[in-house]
Chain A
Amino acid sequence: MHVVLDEPKCVASGQCVMAAPDVFDQRDEDGIAILLNENPGDELHAGVREAAAICPAAAILLAEK
Chain B
Amino acid sequence: MTVSATGETVLPPFPVPRPASCPLQMAPEYGEWVAQEGLERTVLADGTPVWAVNRYADIKEALADERLSADGRNPNMPGPGTGPDGTPSFPRMDDPEHNRIRRMFTKDFTVKRIEAMRPGIQKMADDLLDTMTAKEGPADLVQEYALPLPSLVISLLLGVPYDDHEFFQNHTMLVLRSGVSKEEMMGSRRAMFSYLLDLVERKEREPADDLLSRLAQEQILTGQLRREEAVVSASALLVAGHETTANMIALSTLALLQHPDLLARIRDTDDPKVVANAVEELLRYLTIVHSNVFRVATEDLTLSGTRIKAGEAVSMNLPAGNWDPAYTTDPGTFDLDRDTRGHLAFGYGTHQCVGQQLARAELQIALPTLLRRLPELSLAVPAEELTFRNDMIVYGLYSLPVTW
Contacts and interface: CB of A to CB of B under 8 A. Distances in A.
A50 interface: yes
Contact of A57 (B107, B111, B350, B356): B350
A26 B341 contact: no
Contacts of B107: 28-31
A39 to B, nearest CB: 23
A18 B111 contact: yes
Interface in A51-65: 53-54, 56-58
26 contacts: A11-B99, A11-B102, A11-B106, A11-B351, A12-B102, A12-B103, A12-B110, A13-B346, A13-B356, A14-B109, A17-B111, A18-B357, A26-B111, A26-B112, A28-B112, A30-B103, A30-B106, A31-B107, A31-B109, A32-B103, A32-B106, A54-B341, A54-B342, A56-B347, A56-B348, A56-B352
B221 interface: no
Interface in A27-48: 28-32
Nearest to A57: B350
A57 to B, nearest CB: 6
Given A12-B103, A13-B356, A18-B357, 12 more contacts: A11-B99, A11-B351, A11-B352, A12-B106, A12-B109, A14-B109, A26-B110, A28-B112, A31-B109, A56-B350, A57-B352, A58-B64
Which interface residue of B106, B107, B341 has the most chain A CB atoms within 10 A?
B106
Majority secondary structure of chain B interface residues (helix, strand, loop or mixed): helix
A26 B108 CA distance: 11
A29 B112 CA distance: 12
B349 interface: yes
Contacts of B103: 12, 30-32
Interface residues of A, number: 19
B352 A13 contact: yes
Contacts of A25: 112
Interface residues of B, number: 24
A58 B341 CA distance: 15
A29 B103 CA distance: 9
A55 B109 CA distance: 16
Nearest to A11: B350
A17 B353 CA distance: 15
B341 A14 contact: no
Contacts of B104: 30
Nearest to B60: A56
A30 B107 CA distance: 4
A44 to B, nearest CB: 17
Contacts of A54: 341-342
